[in-house]
Amino acid sequence: MTDDRDTAPRRLGEYVLERRLGGGGMGVVHLARTAGGRLLAVKVIRPEYAGDAGFRARFRREVAAARRVSGAFTAPVVDADPDGDPPWLATLYVPGGSLTDRVEDGGPLGTGEAARLGAQLAEALRDIHRCGLVHRDLKPGNVLLADDGVRLIDFGISRALADSRRLTEQGAVLGSPPFMAPEQLTGGGEVTAAADVFALGAVVAYAVTGRSPFDADGDPFAVAYRVVHEEPDLDAVPGVLRDTVARCLAKDPERRPPVADLLRLGTVARGGGGAVAPHWPDAAGPAAEERRSVPLPDTSPDGRTRRRRRWTAGVTALVALAVAGGGVWVVAPWDDGGTAARETQDAETRDEAAEFRPWELDLRDLGVLDAATGGFSCAPADDGLLCSAGGQLTVLLGPDGTERFRHEGPRDAYGGPTAVTDGGAVYARSDKGVVVLGPDGAERGEIDAPEAAGSLHLLAGGTLALRNGDSTLRFYRTDGLAPAGVWEAPGRYVTATAAHGDRLLVETRDTASGGAPELMLLDPAGRPLWPVPVTPPPETAGALELIGMDGGAAYFQELDPEVPVTTAVLRLALDGGGADAWTRTPLPVPAEPRGVVADGTVYASSLNGRVTAVDAAAGKVLWDRDTGVRVMSRPAARDGALYVSDGEGRLHRLPADGGTADRRGAAHPGTPGLGSDGSAPAPVVTDTGVAYVVTLGNTLYATPVDALAEEDAGGS
């Protein structure tokens, strides 16, 4: 088979292919970027299939079908060239993983979550059917769990309602037997919208039980026989859903409910408790049982989330590689929620000025539906805390958790910039560009930068640096917002920045190819401090991601060229440049791309609790341990220790010289959201001994680190 890594073009149409997300049997999916910076998933057909006339015809149908559908729960097509060499299809990038991976890694969904998923799939099918199409391949792998609800993808074998003949390829029925209707398998009847209803019922049953209702130990022929001739096994399906699922799985298509009736599954998700009875609206079912139920995001017009998962959050594998390309998905445990903002018992801290009272907030009260995947994070701000979700929301909290002010950024500011503060002012995204807010939220000024993106940086000496557009960095004086300088990279686009003191490091890539990364060090006026740009060393096998910098060096994580896992740590000395300025340290075990640096040590970690500490200057691994903390957040280093949270929101202290967790706090399970199986941000630990923790349960709490109890032997 042809190696697509060698043959994949670096550019298709107007789009630069940035990295390979993964591959399926027929094609390879790439993460791509438009000239304006919008992320796309581009499906490129493999050369061995592109020359097959029958396959090209099928791919043209896929493109045509996908173009016709544009509902809230489908991935819109941006562009395509089914007759190109190679053929390709570009959709908006959906930063979320598949239902298959969610269930395989984290277990079945709760009843309410599965019900809402069913309602959203029903809405997606309604939009598809209104276009005169039958999807024909609804299965867990084609259901992406995006931040703002599901996305139903892959229209590769969809057919028009008016042409419902059995579709075969080389004599085989196309589809997935556990989720195919009997009429699809036998060819004995028309394949209509009712086939998609059958699949929806099977998907909901799978979501809530972890297996197909026609399970036969993985034997596809036995599964197909059961689908056609036997009744589904629904014993493990909760009673509140069982009747609806059973009606969807009726052998006779005429006895299945219409898709419109399945929208009422949303009442179960909202805790209505009654069974959904498509043909008997007044029928009542048993009350919703006690369950570990995790709500999907509210996708009503008033409550629909507008957030975007950063592709780096908690990656262990590539998933969901179909029309929409897919994203990354790592799973945390789920638990009961309902935690409201509250205060807990008093505790003493090292702050001698006042007694500290721990507190906890339900982040939904701030309008944050899922902190873990919404880019929500916090940083110290004077005597309080500055929190933001990308560029969409900025909240300044007092030390007791009270809200000092809230600023709503543009609805489309998905990726940032995240707000920053110098103590006297807060700099946040606005419709015009960047707004300057006082501690009381009053507007002090605004910078005209409508294409602001990336990160904001406050440099020593009173300079704010920001990116505006693909290839331009601007510098402003903070004492009056007067322009201080501009740096541009013609023919290139900025992919990362980092700052320390009065210097800023910028990484750019070639606009035409997307490759050939270059680095330049700038002063507070945007003037280059190196005579020529610096490039990665030739032994670098994969893409580099900038972790951060300190006074002497910049630190990077090297990603495997096949999957986004970290395989090495690199250090670039800032005092010279050139090949001898680089130090590369391979990791003994691949880690997730979420490294952090503190005092010259890079800590590479994974959700499963493994941490590798690297002396980046010496080029050696200091230690590599299983810490015992499961569903571990990114670490924060402070006072000779690492601080992390786990899947239940407990704060753990880890000796920075290696070893397992030695102290931990109480659980804060909260109420996890649909996407709360990403990686929680690092805790914020202040010099007063207070830790602020954002949990996977969508809460934020404050606790003194001195209150952490001794860790039980064996960890968490």
Catalytic residues: 137
* 98 in Cβ contact with 329 (< 8 Å): yes
All residues at 6 or more sequence positions from 35 whose CB lies less than 8 Å from its CB, including other chains: 14, 470, 511
For the beta carbon of residue 219, count every other beta carbon within 10 angstroms: 12
* 143 in Cβ contact with 163 (< 8 Å): no
Peptide bond into 586 cis (omega under 30): no
What distance in Å separates the CA atoms of residue 332 and residue 39, rounded to the nearest whole number?
26
Burial class from Cβ neighbours inside 10 Å (0-12, 13-18, 19+) for residue 341 reads: middle
All residues at 6 or more sequence positions from 700 whose CB lies less than 8 Å from its CB, including other chains: 360, 361, 363, 371, 378, 387, 401, 692, 693, 694
* 158 in Cβ contact with 135 (< 8 Å): yes
What would the 3-class secondary structure string for 94-113 be? CCCCEHHHHHHHHCCCCHHH
Peptide bond into 417 cis (omega under 30): yes
The CA–CA distances, whole Å, from 459 to 447, 478, 481, 502 equal: 17, 10, 14, 5
Strands (E), 251-382: 342-343, 359-362, 376-381
What distance in Å separates the CA atoms of residue 398 and residue 513, rounded to the nearest whole number?
47
Angle at 636 between CA 630 and CA 638, to 5 degrees: 125
Q: Is 416 helix (H, G, I), strand (E, B) or coil?
A: coil
Burial class from Cβ neighbours inside 10 Å (0-12, 13-18, 19+) for residue 535 reads: middle
Q: Which residues of 299-325 are buried (b: 16+ CB within 10 A; e: fewer)?
A: beeeeebbbbbbbbbbbbebbbbbbbb
What distance in Å separates the CA atoms of residue 288 and residue 268, rounded to the nearest whole number?
8
Alpha helices by DSSP H, 132-213: 182-186, 193-209
Q: Which residues of 559-574 are buried (b: 16+ CB within 10 A; e: fewer)?
A: beeebbbbbbbbbbbb
